């Protein structure tokens, strides 16, 4: 059996490193053909020495003066065009889309049009540009396999069943570090507390999104594109133990749940090996040692990010792009100590409420422009917040 070539976009992040761990465990099944990262040259160089890819791409900077960090036989590329070339290389079979933000939208679209398997870990790609990503996949007859544990769980539970058989999807959420906190207590939450996710170890931005439940709202939008269901048939349920990764309820009342330990290597491995499964030697779920599984309704008054995400999904067009862009700027402001935790969603809400332009999405450029304007409006709101904050 020939090895499958994998291009890892976002190689130095948490998902990228977990994917490289999978590749290293199965060297006869997979080969790293390309590694892409944003600006972390030295981390990328270290990974390149270990995995010896054909292509290394630095998408967010210029490290031409650091070519000595890479072996002479490695092609060193830069920017969005370099990422596109890496994703579309002839020896690439799987593109892991794990680069944060929107930098990989065009490279992933190009790879999908060429029929590459897209292992999707970047929420923004479908949240902002789901219309264009799914259209590109149809044109290229490409597979989009979710890497998020929740969407992977749904994908596995559906297992090729017809959409008409599905009554609803239930996306589970741990509830984050502030699940039982009052709004007053969350208002004084520190960055360290917000980053202290109870079950998953993730990057700073996604950890904060999990704490506000914005992450789950973005997953609802993502699910509409992945599974072709309206938001009225996608629910969120709080499950603190993070053992049930999501559930699917069918029209006959049956519910299929995918369970497992909270380890990102499981959905990554499944996206790489589908329809087969890899013999992963990981910690195993031991039901007899579990004290119990609990489920709760999310409190949308304490966690209004869910309401905003559902509203953006129902509005459609570029509204999800505005939501995503404004949220990213607000999270960045919180992480840098400029605003309180509860101000994150307040900023996003004000941007959406004051939006005057139509939420059109006739082209990818229009969506990207909406994202950029959403970011600018969020920065304006943050500036007003700083001016009026008591000294």
Digit-coded pLDDT (tens) for 112-128:
999 999 999 998 899 99
- What is the pLDDT confidence band of residue 290, given thresholds at 50, 70 and 90? confident
When pLDDT is averaged across residues 236-255 and rounded to a whole number, the result is 95
Query: Quick one: pLDDT at residue 67?
Result: 67
Query: Which residues, including other chains, have CB under 8 Å from residue 79's CB and lie 6 or more apart?
Result: 59
**pLDDT greater than 60 at residue 391:** no
Q: Quick one: which of 264, 331, 195 has its CA closest to 15?
A: 264
Tell me the mean pLDDT in the region 218-235.
97
CA gap 248, 246 in Å, rounded: 7
Tell me what pLDDT residue 200 has: 65
Per-residue pLDDT, 1: 62
For 347, residues 6+ apart whose C-beta sits below 8 A from its C-beta are: 326, 329, 330, 333, 339, 378, 381, 382, 385
> Distance between CA atoms of 126 and 109, rounded to whole angstroms?
11
- In this model, does residue 201 exceed pLDDT 80? no
Distance separating alpha carbons of residues 129 and 364, to the nearest angstrom: 7
Rg of the Cα atoms in the chain: 21
Contacts of 356 (CB under 8 A, 6+ apart): none
CA-nearest of 118, 110, 132, 95 to 9 is 95
137-159 per-residue burial string, b: 16 or more CB within 10 A, e: under 16 = beebebbbbbbbbbbbbbbbbbe
Q: Residue 64's pLDDT is what?
A: 59
Averaged confidence pLDDT in the chain = 92
Torsion of CA 100, 104, 109, 113, to 10 degrees: -110
Q: Say if residue 387's pLDDT is above 70.
A: no
Smallest CA-to-CA distance from 16 within 211, 194, 264 is with: 264
Compute how many other C-beta atoms are within 10 angstroms of the C-beta atom of residue 360: 14
The CATH class of 4-147 is: alpha beta
Cβ(327)–Cβ(348) below 8 Å: yes
Question: Looking at the whole model, is its pTM more than 0.85?
Answer: yes
- Tell me what the mean pLDDT of segment 235-243 comes to: 94
Asked whether the beta carbons of 151 and 141 are under 8 A apart, the reply is no
| pLDDT surpassing 70 at residue 314 | yes
Q: What is the pLDDT of residue 262?
A: 85
Q: Tell me what the mean pLDDT of segment 39-52 comes to.
A: 89
pLDDT the model gives residue 32: 97
Q: Are 104 and 10 in contact (CB under 8 A)?
A: yes
Residue 97 in this model has a pLDDT that exceeds 90 = yes
What per-residue confidence (pLDDT) applies to 384? 85
Which pLDDT band holds residue 299 (cuts at 50, 70, 90)?
very high
Q: Is the pLDDT of residue 390 over 70?
A: no
Q: Is a pLDDT exceeding 60 seen at residue 220?
A: yes
Q: Does domain 316-391 have CATH number 1.10.1740.10?
A: yes
Q: What is the rounded average pLDDT of the residues 175-183?
A: 93
Distances in Å between the Cα of 23 and the Cα atoms of 31, 46, 278 are 7, 16, 11
Residue 279 has pLDDT above 90, yes or no: yes
- Residue percentage of the chain with pLDDT more than 90: 77
Query: In angstroms, rounded to a whole number, what is the distance separating the alpha carbons of residues 126 and 71?
Result: 35
Cβ–Cβ under 8 Å, residues 98 and 271 = no
**Predicted local confidence at residue 214, as pLDDT:** 97
Smallest CA-to-CA distance from 316 within 151, 170, 127, 137 is with 127
Separation CA 136–CA 204 (nearest Å): 31
Tell me what pLDDT residue 198 has: 73
CA distance to 30, 215, 243, 257, per residue, from 218 (Å): 31, 5, 21, 21
Residue-wise pLDDT tens digits, 143-176:
999 999 999 999 999 987 888 999 999 999 999 9
Q: Where are the domains of the chain?
A: 4-147, 148-306, 316-391
Sign of CA dihedral 94, 99, 101, 105: negative
In the prediction, which pLDDT does 61 show?
65
What is the pLDDT, as a whole number, of residue 329?
A: 96
Give the distance from CA 252 to its chain's centroid: 32
- pLDDT given for residue 267 in this prediction: 96
CB 33 within 8 A of CB 92: yes
pLDDT digits (tens, 9 = 90+) for 341-381: 999 999 999 999 999 889 999 999 999 999 999 999 999 99
Give residue 292's pLDDT band: very low, low, confident or very high (50, 70, 90): confident
pLDDT in tens, 323-338: 999 999 999 999 999 9
DSSP per-residue string spanning 63-120: -GGGGGGS-TTSEEEEHHHHHHHHHT-TT--EEEE--STTTTHHHHHHHHHTT-EEEE
Residue 41, pLDDT > 80, answer: yes
């Amino acid at each position: 059996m020939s090895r499958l070539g994998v291009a890892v976009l976002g190689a130095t992040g948490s998902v990228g490193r977990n994917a490289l761990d999978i590749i290293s465990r199965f060297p006869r099944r997979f080969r790293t053909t390309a590694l892409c990262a944003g600006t972390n040259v030295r981390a990328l160089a270290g990974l390149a020495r270990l995995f010896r890819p054909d292509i290394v791409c630095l998408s967010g900077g210029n490290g031409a003066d650091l070519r000595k960090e890479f072996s002479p036989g490695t092609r060193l590329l830069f920017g969005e065009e370099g990422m596109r070339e890496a994703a579309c290389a002839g020896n690439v079979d799987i593109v892991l889309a794990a680069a944060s933000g929107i930098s990989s939208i065009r490279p992933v679209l190009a790879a999908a049009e060429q029929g590459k398997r897209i292992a999707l870990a970047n929420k923004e790609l479908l949240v902002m540009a789901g219309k264009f990503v799914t259209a590109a996949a149809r044109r290229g007859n490409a597979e989009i396999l979710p890497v998020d544990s929740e969407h992977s769980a749904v994908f596995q539970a559906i297992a090729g069943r017809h959409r008409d058989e599905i009554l609803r999807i239930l996306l589970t959420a741990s509830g984050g570090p502030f699940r039982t906190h009052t709004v007053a207590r969350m208002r004084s939450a520190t960055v360290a507390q917000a980053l202290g996710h109870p079950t998953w170890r993730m990057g700073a931005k996604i950890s904060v999104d999990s704490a506000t439940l914005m992450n789950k709202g973005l997953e609802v939008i993502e699910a509409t594109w992945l599974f072709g269901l309206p938001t009225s048939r996608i629910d969120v349920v709080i499950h603190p133990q993070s053992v049930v990764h999501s559930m699917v309820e069918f029209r006959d009342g049956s519910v299929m749940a995918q369970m497992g330990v909270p380890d990102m290597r499981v959905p990554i491995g499944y996206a790489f090996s589908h329809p087969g499964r890899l013999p992963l030697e990981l910690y195993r779920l031991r039901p007899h040692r579990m004290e119990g599984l609990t489920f709760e309704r999310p409190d949308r008054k304490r966690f209004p990010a869910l309401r905003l995400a559902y509203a953006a999904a129902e509005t459609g067009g570029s509204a999800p792009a505005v939501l995503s862009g404004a949220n990213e700027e607000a999270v960045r402001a919180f992480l840098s100590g400029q605003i309180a935790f509860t101000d994150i969603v307040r900023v996003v809400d004000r941007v959406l409420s004051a939006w005057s332009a139509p939420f059109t999405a006739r082209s990818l450029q229009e969506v990207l422009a909406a994202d950029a304007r959403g970011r600018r409006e969020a920065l304006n709101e943050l500036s007003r917040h700083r001016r009026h904050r008591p000294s």
